[in-house]
Amino acid sequence: MADTVGSTILVLNGPNLNLLGAREPDVYGTTTLEDIKSAVTEYANTLGMQVDFRQSNTEGELVDWVQSANQTASAVIINAGAYTHTSIAILDALLACGLPVIEVHLSNIFRREEFRHHSYTSQAATGIICGFGAQGYLLALDAAKVTLARP
């Protein structure tokens, strides 16, 4: 795999994650997506990595970004939001991109409603991090670094 020094990690966020901080703070906390972006960018810099941090409420836009990821990134970190449980299109794009994929969820999806227990996107994931809130994104960067360092 690619050397992590100078690596760009594409960090994708799906629908409604732009509402973090205001949306269901008892489930998702009060940290905003902008707070997460700042923390991820800062932490990535300490790891010698760059991030391309994006959010969309549109499935097709997420698919387009994943499809072009192998041209600009070494790995994908994705919190597909509700599309995790519904989008075969995002799964197919993740499988086709050929990059390591780390799936992130702020909440523990397995302790929530039954419909959230199934993840299409996890079928393409190298690993899944869930239930650690915003810290999960930083753990995902660590996971990406380790994954990219493997021969």
Catalytic residue (one of 83, 105, 120, 137): 105
107 phi and psi angles, rounded to 5 deg: -100, 165
Chain-centroid distance, C-alpha 88: 16
Beta bridge partners of 138: none
28: annotated active-site residue = yes
83: annotated active-site residue = no
d(CA 29, CA 98): 33
What value does the CA radius of gyration of the chain take, rounded to a whole number of Å?
A: 14
Sheet with 8-13: strands ordered across = 50-55, 8-13, 75-79, 101-105, 127-130
Catalytic residue (one of 28, 83, 120, 137): 28
Any idea which residues carry the catalytic annotation? 28, 105
